[in-house]
């Protein structure tokens, strides 16, 4: 097969779409007014940002404001500098803010992104109590444990919508109902989910939701925190009062508009796009599992993000795998310890119970709408070859 370039790391970041770039361009070059300024060029920027807010709100089915002339309508959508900022604002801002009502307990899961986990750990140092829920082999949080841990002291439950390494989708509605049963609020890190699966914050009972533009072909350095009306947070960034005073700083107009354009495109064509991506991913998984012995699929094979295919291959190590795939033109990622310089493989792979020696051989391939059948054929062949080569060098591999 002829060498080609295949970007199969769409969970890390996605290429900015032409739609998003074109939406951004005039706001980068011509319309440079500061949205806080009184003159027309400033007011137009402010209006454009509020339009972007509405687009985002509509995709999430956020409650729209009654008064269309409202200054920051819809106030439920706060723009941030990325998914991590949204997660930090949601969790730290909520626990430090008045809406936590003095409750001191957070429940989250062992497979959250570090933006959630490390925020929780920092709060533990301040005296908050955090429960990290176990997950099963496929990465679903333990709902029984959640029920047992919930109490009148639980302020917040934060469980991600879909995992970034293995793609497993969590039962959001069930979790929010449990959280609400004790008066706790529910936050979900939907950074991987938005643009890839249906999300309805009202239907699912979501009180706060984080997303990031660059995971659905919008720009880097942009994110959103959806905050249900009535919830009050402590600011993440103090200053000029932008984003209801919670994320101050001159607005990244072009970025916010790019995010909204990409999100609209993703949401309006969700079924069609994700149907296509899922077909590709199914083919990829099938091909790899058939071709490569001693390989294991990780995550939930059914309830998973449409573009995520994740594996472990015995007797090899992931960093080398990625580097050799790169030489062959294929971009992927791994949860191997060696890839990060830490001694442990990814906390997600540990949490789903993989032994260290197997977790080292992990590979995540994440497809997007820009991938083709030919890409998939090429990736299957390339991964098969590279795994074979690395195994032939491995002292643990005995054929």
Which residues form the catalytic set? 338
Q: Other C-beta atoms within 10 Å of 194: how many?
A: 27
By CB under 8 A, tell whether 385 contacts other proteins: no
Q: Are 147 and 158 in contact (CB under 8 A)?
A: no
- The distance in angstroms from the start CA to the end CA of the chain is 26
By CB under 8 A, tell whether 101 contacts other proteins: no
By CB under 8 A, tell whether 16 contacts a second copy: yes
By CB under 8 A, tell whether 144 contacts other proteins: no
Q: Kindly write out the interface string for residues 335-354 of this chain, putting x where it contacts a second copy by CB under 8 A and - elsewhere.
A: ----x---------------
Tell me how far apart the alpha carbons of residues 170 and 196 are, in angstroms, rounded to a whole number.
Answer: 14
Question: Which member of 78, 191, 325, 363 binds ligand PLP (CB under 6 A)?
Answer: 191
State the minimum distance, in angstroms, from the CB of residue 73 to a second copy. 16
Tell me how far apart the alpha carbons of residues 338 and 349 are, in angstroms, rounded to a whole number.
Answer: 14
Q: Which positions from 215 through 244 interact with ligand PLP, judged by CB under 6 A? A: 223, 239-240
Question: Which member of 10, 108, 131, 192 binds ligand PLP (CB under 6 A)?
Answer: 192
Q: Count CA within 13 A, CB hemisphere, residue 181.
A: 12
Q: Kindly write out the interface string for residues 294-333 of this chain, putting x where it contacts other proteins by CB under 8 A and - elsewhere.
A: ---------------------xxx-xx--xx--x------
Helix (H) or strand (E) holding 388, with range, is helix 373-393
Helices (runs of H) and strands (runs of E) counted in the chain = 13, 12
Shorter beta-carbon distance to other proteins: residue 42 or 97: 42
Q: Are 126 and 155 in contact (CB under 8 A)?
A: no
Buried b vs exposed e over 122-155: b needs ≥16 C-beta within 10 Å? ebeeeebbbbbbbbeebbbbeeebbeebbeeebb
By CB under 8 A, tell whether 396 contacts other proteins: yes
Tell me how far apart the alpha carbons of residues 77 and 90 are, in angstroms, rounded to a whole number.
Answer: 12
Residue 9 per-residue DSSP state? B
Q: Kindly write out the interface string for residues 23-42 of this chain, putting x where it contacts a second copy by CB under 8 A and - elsewhere.
A: -x---xx--xxx-xxxxxxx
Q: Is the peptide bond before 274 cis (omega within 30 degrees of 0)?
A: no
Q: Which stretch binds a second copy (CB under 8 A): 5-13, 61-69, 102-110, 380-388?
A: 5-13
State the minimum distance, in angstroms, from the CB of residue 106 to ligand PLP. 16
Residue numbers of the site for other proteins (CB under 8 A)?
A: 38, 43, 46-47, 69, 71, 315-317, 319-320, 323-324, 327, 336-339, 341, 343, 345, 355-357, 360, 392-397
């Amino acid at each position: 097969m002829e060498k080609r370039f295949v970007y199969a790391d769409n969970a890390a970041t996605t290429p900015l779409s032409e739609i998003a770039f074109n939406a951004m361009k005039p706001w980068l070059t011509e319309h440079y007014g500061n949205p806080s300024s009184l003159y027309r060029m400033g007011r137009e920027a402010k209006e454009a940002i509020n339009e972007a807010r509405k687009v985002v709100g509509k995709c999430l089915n956020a409650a729209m404001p009654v008064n269309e002339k409202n200054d920051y309508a819809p106030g439920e959508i706060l723009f941030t500098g990325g998914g991590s900022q949204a997660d930090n604002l949601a969790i730290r801002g909520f626990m430090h803010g008045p809406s936590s009502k003095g409750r001191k307990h957070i429940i989250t899961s062992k497979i959250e992104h570090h933006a959630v986990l490390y925020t929780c750990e920092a709060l533990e140092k301040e005296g908050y109590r955090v429960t990290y829920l176990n997950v099963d082999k496929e990465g679903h949080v333990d709902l029984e444990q959640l029920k047992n841990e919930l109490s009148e002291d639980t302020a917040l439950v934060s469980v991600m919508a879909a995992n970034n390494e293995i793609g497993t989708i969590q039962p959001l509605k069930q979790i929010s109902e449990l959280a609400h049963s004790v008066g706790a609020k529910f936050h979900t890190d939907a950074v991987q989910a938005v643009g890839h699966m249906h999300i309805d914050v009202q239907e699912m009972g979501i009180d706060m939701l984080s997303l990031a533009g660059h995971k659905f072909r919008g720009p880097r350095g942009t994110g959103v925190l959806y905050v249900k009306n009535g919830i009050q947070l402590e600011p993440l960034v103090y200053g000029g009062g932008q984003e209801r005073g919670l994320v101050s700083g001159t607005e990244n107009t072009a970025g916010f508009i790019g995010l909204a354009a990409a999100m609209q495109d993703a949401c309006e064509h969700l079924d069609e796009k994700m149907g296509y991506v899922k077909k590709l991913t199914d083919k990829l998984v099938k091909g790899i599992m058939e071709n490569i012995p001693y390989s294991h699929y990780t995550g939930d094979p059914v309830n998973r993000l449409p573009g995520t295919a994740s594996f472990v291959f015995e007797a090899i190590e992931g960093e080398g795998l990625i580097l050799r795939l790169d030489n062959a033109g294929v971009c992927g990622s791994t949860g191997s310890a060696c890839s990060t310089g830490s001694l442990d493989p990814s906390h997600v792979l540990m949490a789903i119970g993989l032994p260290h020696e197997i977790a080292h051989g992990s590979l995540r391939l994440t497809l997007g709408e820009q991938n083709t059948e030919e890409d998939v054929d090429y990736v299957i062949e390339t991964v098969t070859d590279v795994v074979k080569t690395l195994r032939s060098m491995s002292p643990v591999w005995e054929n």
